[in-house]
Amino acid sequence: MSKSSASASGHALWSKMPKANTELFALTYGSLVTELIRDYDNADEVNSQLDRIGHSIGVRCVDEFLSKAEVGGINIPPCQTMKDTADVVARIGFRMFLGVSAEVANHAPDGSAFSLFLYDNPLSIFVELPTAEEAAVISGGRGGCDLSKIKYSNIYCGVIRGALEQVNLKVDCRFVRDV
Amino acid sequence: EFLATPTIPPTTDPPNHAVESNVYNVASLVARNSSQMVVHSLHIFDRKGKTLFSKTYSKAAAIGQQQLRQTSQGPAEEDPVDEQRKLVFGMLFSLRELVGSLAPEGEKGGLHSIRTGASTLHNYETLSGVRFAMYTTNDVGGADASSSSRRSSAAAESNVSVRDALRHIYTELWVESVIKSPLYRPGEMSTVGQRSSGSGGGDAFDIRSTNFEKKLDSFLQSMPWFR
């Protein structure tokens, strides 16, 4: 799909979705992550729980995406290459559900991997994760989890993984750099 | 003076008869032009071939299923209707591969409907692998040569409208009721054949826990061609 038609489709689909308040959304997610940290106290465990939650969200997102595109008369052709998949996910998918587009870059030479850049992450607008030293200070008393190792927006990884699984693409999604 | 087509009554009839036969003939003319289809049944398959949902609507289909059950020679645990559904899925799957390889380069080919002498199977499938298959009767038959062009366009219209209906079932009913339900998990849906097995599918998601069936029934009732 060409760039402009993909962005136009994304924008059209976004305008049809029911909207929620961004701050409410971000704060709800923040409280979810806080609860997870309190329950598990282990950064890796929290990350994998976020990934699992994202996975079940992603599984539902695909059908909703396809059905809204059908209704809106937007034709999403089956992707021929990984590049097409990347474009569809970033430009239309992210745009439709979050209202922000992601940029695609860094395609691996054999077409098997790509990077997504999310410049405006709506989940982390109020969030600042501590660096390693600060985290050591905070968790020193409790001997608990290392807050700097938490991938705050790891839910995205799960969403992408779950969604692509429904269209027969097994992917591995990792955060390279977070807030 | 008599007209060529038999639907217009001769004008020399006494007034009462003319009115009655007029009404009757107009009705039959209208009925012949509109789709007189009967929906036999609807099946929903997932990507792996499991039947997610299946319902028969017409009496003919229900009788057929009963006869199949009674006359089946297979082992006692296998439900012959289940086997039949698996065969339907296999047929749809193979035909899809065939259609895909026959389609011209770059065009998205899909299997829309299969028409046999007895009935028509309308098929709608999505990229996520969900397949909706609806059995209906064939369109208005009859050997009226003069209205054959009208008949074929009516047939085309009714084919398109069934496809639209299946699309609507997918987007409005399936996605809203089933996918958005918090209990939905794609790999673990309980299939239709498991209903009688009792506690076997404890964790699996059963479509009966959503109101998909009720919404589906009310939607189909509202369709003009559904009987």
Helices (H), chain A: 3-16, 22-40, 43-71, 82-87, 94-98, 132-140, 155-166
Average pLDDT, chain A: 81
What local confidence, expressed as pLDDT, does residue A2 receive? 65
Residue predicted with more confidence, B92 or A41: B92
Find the range with the poorest average confidence among A14-23, A140-149, B67-76, B92-101.
A140-149
Kindly indicate whether the ipTM for this predicted assembly is greater than 0.85, answering yes or no. Answer: no
Q: Which residues pair with B120 in a beta bridge?
A: B115, B136
Give the mutation candidate from B93, B127, B189 for the A interface (greatest A CB count, under 10 A): B127
Strand, coil or helix: what is B45? strand
CB-CB contact of B227 with B38 (8 Å)? yes
Q: Where does residue B107 rank: exposed (0-12), middle (13-18), buried (19+ CB within 10 A)?
A: exposed
Which distant-in-sequence residues (6+ apart) come within 8 Å of A173 by Cβ? A156, A157, A158, A160, A161
In the predicted model, is pLDDT for residue A36 greater than 80? yes
Asked if A53 is an interface residue toward chain B (Cβ–Cβ < 8 A), one would say: no
Cβ contact B130–A60 (<8 Å):
no
Cβ contact A64–B180 (<8 Å):
yes
Cα Dmax for chain A: 57
CB-CB contact of A43 with A136 (8 Å)? no
Residue of B nearest to A72 (CA): B171
A149 DSSP 8-state letter: G
What local confidence, expressed as pLDDT, does residue B47 receive? 83
Which chain A residues contact residue B129 at CB under 8 A? 166-168
Asked if B184 is an interface residue toward chain A (Cβ–Cβ < 8 A), one would say: yes
Inter-axis angle of helices A43-71 and A3-16, to 10 degrees?
Answer: 90
Mean pLDDT of all residues in A138-150? 64
**Which residues in chain A (148-177) have CB-CB distances under 8 A to chain B?**
166-168
CA distance A127 to chain B (A): 28
The pLDDT tens digits for B62-76 are: 888 788 777 766 665
CA distance A146 to chain B (A): 32
pTM: 0.73
The pLDDT tens digits for A115-134 are: 888 888 888 888 877 776 67
The pLDDT tens digits for B83-125 are: 888 888 898 889 888 888 888 776 677 788 888 888 888 888 8
Which chain A residues contact residue B171 at CB under 8 A? 67-68, 70-71
Mean pLDDT of all residues in B9-27? 49
